[in-house]
Amino acid sequence: MSGKVLGPVVAPSDRSFSYGDGRSNSKGNLKAMNAPVPPTNMKAQLLGTTVEHVDITSFDARPIIDSMRKMSFSSRDTARAADIFNMAIEDKDCSPWLILAGSTSAGGCMHVYRDMVKFGMIDAVVATGASIVDMDFFEALGFKHYQAAGPVDDNVLRDNYIDRIYDTYIDEEELQACDHTILEIANRLEPRGYSSREFIWEMGKWLSEGNAKKPGSLIQTAYEEGVPIFCPAFVDSSAGFGLVKHQKERAAAGKPYMMLDAIADFRELTDIKIAAGTTGLFMVGGGVPKNFAQDTVVCAEILGVEADMHKYAVQITVADVRDGACSSSTLKEAASWGKVSTTYEQMVFAEATTVVPLIGSDAYHRGAWKGREKRRWQKLFA
């Protein structure tokens, strides 16, 4: 995760283990780590206002979306994106997927994605490791994200062991506790290869066993609803630190260790695409999760299965097209690769926290999800 502090400013004498990136933790066991070091007055002030996650059930965005449909520019794009997302939910043959990159979960959209899964609008999730571990799982452990009150020298944040995502703060001590929890989960597993879907399933199981300090996280909800979560770059997150420590400790002791199987990730998500037939993508950001989900169509073809292109596709991004990327191409460009149909696709060039709650609330209150059968794709891997 960007912004990680690479070493503490003060190294207390009771630190009993260290991370390979130079970070050290102030306590030697999980119980102690969940009791953070008392903050300084400065740190308490900096972490004084928590981020509150928007609740799409508490307001009705349909009038706003209806008005936007009569406007122009990004407003009309947003309304059409909402319409396409609702079409995917209404289509009895369609399996909608959530594709998630960036830091919108930390910024207040965490419950939007959870509720999309909870209410059956989403059948599978493909995300960055940071979205799933550093943000969602982190809060499931009882920790918080905080609003920055104003500009602060990042060196001051470093001195107070605080990580920054734009105007959002994370307590690094708590983030290291998250790292170590990943280590504890890895240590209890059979030493073999796991897809990210399988490991995240174990994380959801661990939370559901009474370990969640904040019930109703995306990971726990997905576990309970049979919705698989994939993180194709899983170790690019707090999970990476814990898993590296797991392997280092096991190897030093001459014991076998668990590992992640990236090929299994691709195979399993392609299996879902083949089983689903018609699919829709609701994409926040882009990059690896977007490309990974889109490529399942091509992978099915390589396997000798004629799979339909993703029928419905929405991408919300601020990425530019002029560098030839747009966070993994525009949706129209993806059609040339055989990934996305251009009949029902919409790019929305907007900062996601401003439009995702509107689209989510619109879909919730229009209620098409009430009539659709949850696919529970986890059953494919039972």
The DSSP string of 72-136 is: -HHHHHHHHHHHHHHHHHH-TTEEEEEEE-SSTIIIIIHHHHHHHHHTTS-SEEEE-HIIIIIII
The pLDDT of residue 130 is above 50: yes
CB 342 within 8 A of CB 331: yes
Residue 324 carries which side chain, given as an amino acid letter?
G
Q: What is the structure's pLDDT at 38? A: 54
CA 314-379-339 angle, 5° bins: 30
Range in 19-33, 139-153, 202-216 the model is least confident about: 19-33
Cβ-Cβ contacts under 8 Å for 92 (sequence gap 6 or more):
372, 373
pLDDT greater than 60 at residue 122: yes
Q: How many residues does the chain have?
A: 382
Band (292; pLDDT cuts 50, 70, 90)? very high
Residue 33: both structure tokens together: 């780590």
State percent of the chain over pLDDT 70.
Answer: 87
Rounded mean pLDDT, 71-81: 98
- The predicted pLDDT at position 29 comes to 41
pLDDT digit string, tens, across residues 234-288: 998 989 999 999 999 999 999 999 999 999 999 999 999 999 999 999 999 998 9
Higher pLDDT: 106 or 39? It is 106
Mean model confidence pLDDT for the chain: 89
Question: Regarding the domain delimited by 17-381, which CATH topology (the fold level of the hierarchy) does it fall under?
Answer: Deoxyhypusine Synthase (3.40.910)
DSSP string computed for 335-350: HTTTSEEEEEEEEEES
- DSSP assignment of 310-364 equals EEEEEEEE---STTS-TTT--HHHHHTTTSEEEEEEEEEES-HHHHHHHHHHHHH
Q: How confident is the model at residue 340 (pLDDT cuts 50, 70, 90)?
A: confident
In the predicted structure, residue 189 carries a pLDDT above the cut 90: yes
Catalytic positions, please? Answer: 339
The predicted structure's pLDDT at residue 21: 37
Which tokens hold the place of 146? 């905080």
SS3 224: helix
User: Do residues 372 and 280 lie in contact, with contact meaning Cβ atoms separated by under 8 Å?
Assistant: no
pLDDT band at 322 (very low <50, low <70, confident <90, very high): confident
Strands 259-260 and 24-25: unpaired
Domain boundaries, the chain: 17-381
